[in-house]
Structure 1
């Protein structure tokens, strides 16, 4: 099975560099255009379905892509939802280290739970679309933690993912493998994954 993890299009909170998390912010016009551009690029390959996180920015991105490339819109998977950042949601990203130097936001979903949750989402999608080629629209931090859980790296070493970028994973003999990260071959990303941690790599 081949699965593309796509970060949703831009929202006004993304544009303003606010911590977003599970706050349900819709796409802005730029985000809708990004979804159309992503669909055009993805249309060069065959796909069987588009699924998503239930949050509106992900669901709308999925709807735009599905309509644009003529692929069925599948279900919304709760396991694809973004990490919950608790009281930090709505805060300018530039203020996070000043207010929470340890990133210990009250109400935050523990970092170590995010990647395994993402893999549970992939496994559910694989069961629902056995042997298929599926586009799954989700969120930046969730995608990075999921890729990190697959590759065995620290999620903070993964590069920040652009809105509407795609990261490919493949299921082979019951094991997931990372193929690309934000459109870049994983072999080209590996040196950075083994490098120093960047604590500022948060998304939504």
Structure 2
């Protein structure tokens, strides 16, 4: 049975501005770096067999901060862990989308990745990792919406995976057939200031 601990990246200015991030290479902000340092301290109390991260900058930065604290380099930067591809709306706010494409912009083809595609790649990642690293402890840094949609599909539960917090820790066990939560959206490492 494989144990996989997922960490959502630290907060970015795009998060604060409610700006679609998608595959943009935007960095953590000061608060996001502080959050990453706190989750890194927490994760340094455990031993990890494998460390994998999304290759997008905000996840990479979070992973690099964690890597320094746990004394283990990232083994793989995996594109399957990327956030939902937002197509033409990447790097825009709702107001900017309305101004550019009108009130009904969401009905237009914006070249966004489908939920089905994102869920499929998330589940594929989990099954691949569980098979490849059976009976190991795997640490993964990724993105909130991608993670939430993966959990919905993996757990066959649409009530799960909503609004996962920045640097939250979620641990699942996967036995090849099914997954279950050991810990969900935990931010005990953050003070009340976050």
Question: What TM-score, normalized by structure 2, do the two folds share?
Answer: 0.83
Q: 1:183 aligns with which of 181, 186, 193?
A: 186
Equivalent-residue separation in structure 2 for 1:41 and 1:95 (angstroms): 38
Residue 103 of structure 1 and its aligned partner are, at CA, apart by 6.3
Residue 105 of structure 1 and its aligned partner are, at CA, apart by 5.2
Deviates more, 1:101-110 or 1:80-89: 101-110
Q: Structure 1 residue 106 and structure 2 residue 116: aligned? A: no
CA RMSD of aligned residues (A): 2.4
Q: Structure 1 residue 27 and structure 2 residue 28: aligned? A: yes
Residue 165 of structure 1 and its aligned partner are, at CA, apart by 0.8
Equivalent-residue separation in structure 2 for 1:39 and 1:123 (angstroms): 26
Mark the runs of 5 or more structure 1 residues left unpaired by the alignment: 185-204
Paired positions, count: 183
The within-5 A match list for 1:84-163 is 84-93=85-94, 99-100=103-104, 102=106, 106-154=110-158, 158-163=161-166
List structure 1 segments (4+ residues) > 6 angstroms apart after TM superposition.
Answer: 94-98
- Return the structure number with greater relative CO, CA threshold 8 A, min gap 6: 2
